[in-house]
Amino acid sequence: MLQLNYIKENKQATIDGLKRKYFKNAEETIETVLDIDQKRRETQAELDTSLAKSNALAKEIGGLMKAGKKEEAEAAKAQTAELKAQSKVLEDSLKGFEVELYDVLVTIPNLPHASVPEGRTPEENVNIFEEGEIPTLPDSALPHWDLIKQYNIIDFDLGNKITGAGFPIYKGKGARIQRAMINFFLDEALAAGYGEIQPPILINKDSGFGTGQLPDKEGQMYHATADDLYLIPTAEVPITNIYRDVIVAESDLPIKNVGYTPCFRREAGSWGAHVRGLNRLHQFDKVEIVQIRKPEESYQALEEMVEHVKGLLNKLELPYRILRLCGGDMGFTSALTFDFEVYSAAQKRWLECSSVSNFEAYQANRLKLRYKVDGKTQLLHTLNGSALALPRILAAILENNQTPDGIRIPKALVPYCGFDMIS
């Protein structure tokens, strides 16, 4: 959530930033915020004046009674009662303005960093880095959805029978390579200084609100209505919420956490060839890295996280590219996002496998996540990244490494898998 003081002190910059994110009615929304805040402050001033008068009269009443000035004392009591009634009305109005202001503020997305490119659609994202050789496959090469049938490692039909579309069952070497990737990603994160967390995969509304999934993406989350809990879309949500309503000791910074969880996304409205096979699932596995940093360190941390994901993809021997997302394609809470995409040789297309983002103080303001500087509390910055999401990584491994003898396993995964070929 944007800080009110920033909006007040940087009105035009806020409007310009929201326009770069293609937020509808940016000017009207900010004017509404400032108008409600003005009414709130005026009401607060009236309330303070009324309470001050009431307190002053209350002190006078005792003296009047002692002096035998009963009529004056009774008049003061009557005036005090009127002021109390007036104060109650003002208090109710103040609460109303505070709720109204809050309800508008939570609908406003984070502002984009100065380096975010102009643009509205994914086609306008900027390719800033590319590495790895794109393999040349024979005409007989198969997409991963045919390979998994050939080698009997994933069963979509059985998952559909048990749950529904988008909930695959991994079998045999398919299950083992999943476990291998999870352990590999976790071990790499631990070696990079992250502390492992195993969080719940159900969250309450406060947690969803704290990291910005609610109310923005409510329709994309699975909702257990009987208990009013949500299945997590990413481990970012429960891990970051560990620090909700916390004042972190400066000595505990930086905070670096990693967690593996299954993730759940309804993906409402998704259809077409681009969602076939492992390209888009309702349940998938992911290892997530989360950092909490001092504001002046957060962009250095973002660079570190980008380098960490690059290292994983290099070790998996996959061709990949990094995109700097344009304003219109960024998430609601993000100030700057880098998307990683691996090349899927049989599909001849790039597949997103990671997003690494800096949210600056936006999530921290919703979470009330702070630390003390010279005795004063200050908001921290939060960051997160996929390191990595498994489905599209597996799709690229299967397609890019297919040979006449089977599917070659990247060397980095062999010690974790216990085999070097799927055949």
pLDDT of residue 217: 82
- Cβ neighbours for 274, distance < 8 A, ≥ 6 positions apart: 280, 349
pLDDT of residue 329: 97
Query: In residues, how long is the chain?
Result: 423
pLDDT of residue 215: 87
Segments forming the whole domain that contains residue 83 = 4-105
What are the average pLDDT values for consecutive 10-residue runs of the chain, which has 423 residues? 97 98 97 98 95 87 78 83 93 97 96 97 98 94 97 97 96 98 98 98 97 89 96 98 97 97 81 76 97 98 98 98 98 98 96 98 98 94 98 98 97 98 97
pLDDT of residue 39: 98
Domain match, 84 and 227 both: no
Q: For the chain, state the CA radius of gyration.
A: 28
pLDDT of residue 46: 95
CATH code of the domain in which 354 resides: 3.30.930.10
Domain match, 58 and 160 both: no
Residue type, position 234, single letter: T
pTM confidence score: 0.93
Residue 290 domain-assigned? yes
Residue 111 domain-assigned? no
Domain match, 164 and 252 both: yes
pLDDT of residue 274: 65
Tokens of 214: 């609610």
pLDDT of residue 393: 98
pLDDT of residue 65: 77
State which of 52, 70, 105 marks the end of a domain.
105
Domains in the chain: how many in total? Answer: 2
Residue 384 domain-assigned? yes
Domain match, 265 and 321 both: yes
Asked whether the beta carbons of 116 and 330 are under 8 A apart, the reply is: yes
Asked whether the beta carbons of 356 and 337 are under 8 A apart, the reply is: yes
Domain match, 86 and 141 both: no
Residue 355 domain-assigned? yes
Angle 112-113-118 from CA coordinates, rounded to 5°:
65
Query: Tokens 């049989």 map to which residue?
Result: 346
State which of 77, 105, 133 marks the end of a domain.
105
Domain match, 153 and 274 both: yes
Residue 254 Rama label (left phi>0; alpha psi -120 to 50; beta): beta
Residue 117 domain-assigned? no
Residue type, position 336, single letter: L
State which of 74, 105, 136 marks the end of a domain.
105
pLDDT of residue 155: 97
Asked whether the beta carbons of 142 and 402 are under 8 A apart, the reply is: yes
pLDDT of residue 273: 52
Q: Where are the alpha helices (DSSP H) in 107-222?
A: 144-150, 156-162, 173-191, 205-210
CATH code of the domain in which 95 resides: 1.10.287.40
Domain match, 59 and 143 both: no
Domain match, 231 and 271 both: yes
Helix (H, G, I), strand (E, B) or coil at 346: coil
pLDDT of residue 74: 78
